[in-house]
Amino acid sequence: MAIFNKEEHSSQEIETIIGPSVSVEGNFVGSGDVVIEGSISGTLKTEGSVRIGKDAKVKAEVKGSRIFVAGEVKGNIQATSSLELSASARVFGNIQTKNLSIESGASFQGKSVMGSSEEDKEKNHSSKQKNVQAIKEVK
Amino acid sequence: MYLYIVDSCAQNKKFQRDLLHIQARIQDLGITGRFEKLTMLKSIQDIVHDAERKGVRTIVAIGSDKTVNAIISHLTDNTITLGLIPLGEEKNSIADALNIPYGEAACAILSKRIIKKLDLGKVNGRYFFSSLSIPASQNTKVECDKSYFLKTTGMAPIKIINFCDNGYRGNAQDGKLEAVVEETEHRGFFSFLKTRATSVRNSIIPAKNIFVKNSEESVPIYSGNDVMVKTPATIEIVPKKLRIIAGT
């Protein structure tokens, strides 16, 4: 059906765009890709990827699958798949991801944890199981 | 039972011949019904409410996007099916999106009766199809999905889009509205004297529920050029509420 005509600007290309003149305050929860060129404060969670533009100002906890940062982020970042900080990125907060890339020139103040929390849980769970098995064997 | 509503834009002498051809074609296809012409004394609201009382099953808009949006804004019965025959010089982007050809050719689409169920927006209890426009103001607060606020520093209005608005086309089957803010950047020397607004990437924020209020005074919310409601306003999506005849 022509409702999905690709020639026109469609919301299906990118689900959410927060432009330079827009600021979002509160808890933003999405399921698709998010592009931020404006400002956001609070929390930002999505199952899709997040792109934080050069002039963007983010004062929020950010969670997404693939996260690219070129602007300023004050808050923790959790990327389930990968996190990329470009040369213009300024990050003040802790980061957690599986794959991390930091370009020369980027500024980052905080702790970095590699591996997702789910992986950690699995590791903890498997090590606990091993311990239990070891105890059983000893008995 | 069909009811054909002929908008004033399709009553111009230029389109009299087209209208006669449409009437003849409707007769040939066996989808005849009552014709109501909009006049100063007969409003769309009266005609739609009268049709609902009489149990009309299909209302066909002969005119433009404006006609379709006006009919939908007065519908209260969700079992009515809407048809469209684009006629006149005004915008027909709804017909284009639904693959409905101009004039007489649209009658064949009507007789095939392929019905699509599309989302409708609802603002303070009234339905809308295409979009709404909220004028830019520092005092206007827009709350989305009861979880975050949207503020804009630009002069562009916030558009709430369900189906289409000025080249931007939403998806009326996704169960979401989209708040769209057109971004402009000012370029050039002495830009404060001569601003040339160039369109950059617009803000698009999907939401199911939007609450708009103004801290100082009640501001109008427009559907096209007409004031539909005034703030405070609750805008929500009603999925698959509209039954509309579409082309293949």
For A50-108, the DSSP string reads EEE-TT-EEEEEEEEEEEEE-SEEES-EEEEEEEEE-TT-EEES-EEEEEEEE-TT-EE
* Chain mean pLDDT for chain B: 88
State whether residue A87 sits within 8 Å of chain B by CB: no
* Residue B85 DSSP class: E
pLDDT tens digits, B169-188? 888 888 999 999 887 665 55
How far apart, in Å, are the Cα atoms of B163 and each of A108, B64, B75? 43, 15, 17
B125 contacts chain A (CB < 8 A): no
Minimal C-alpha gap between A109 and chain B (Å)? 28
- Write out the DSSP string of B140-163: EEEEETTTEEEEE-SSSPEEEESS
- The structural domain count of chain B equals 2
Span B100-126, average pLDDT: 94
Q: Which domain holds residue B12?
A: 2-113
Does A9 contact B152 at a Cβ distance shorter than 8 Å? Answer: no
Question: Given B45, B78, B113, which residue is the final one in a domain?
Answer: B113
B187/B183 Cα distance (integer angstroms): 13
| Reported pTM | 0.82
| Integer Cα distance of B183 and A36 in angstroms | 13
> What is the pLDDT at residue B33?
92
The pLDDT of residue B186: 54
Instruction: Provide the 8-state DSSP code for A119.
Output: H
Comparing CB atoms, the residue among A4, A8, A16 nearest residue B205 is A16
Q: What is the CATH number of the domain that holds B42?
A: 3.40.50.10330
Confidence band of A117 (pLDDT split at 50, 70, 90): low
Best residue of A11, A28, A40 to probe chain B, by most B CBs closer than 10 Å: A11
What is the predicted pLDDT for the residue at B159? 92
| Sequence ranges of the domains in chain A | 12-138
Would you call B96 an interface residue with chain A, using a CB distance cutoff of 8 Å?
yes
Q: Would B150 be classed as within a structural domain?
A: yes
Q: What is the pLDDT of residues B22-42, one digit of tens each?
A: 999 999 999 999 999 998 888
Which CATH number does the domain housing residue B227 bear?
A: 2.60.200.40
Q: Is residue B120 part of a domain?
A: no
Of B167, B181, B247, the CB nearest to A19: B181
Distance, in Å, from the CA atom of B130 to the CA atom of B146, rounded to the nearest integer, reads: 23
Residues in chain B closer than 8 A to A37 (CB atoms)? 201
Rg, C-alpha atoms of chain B: 20
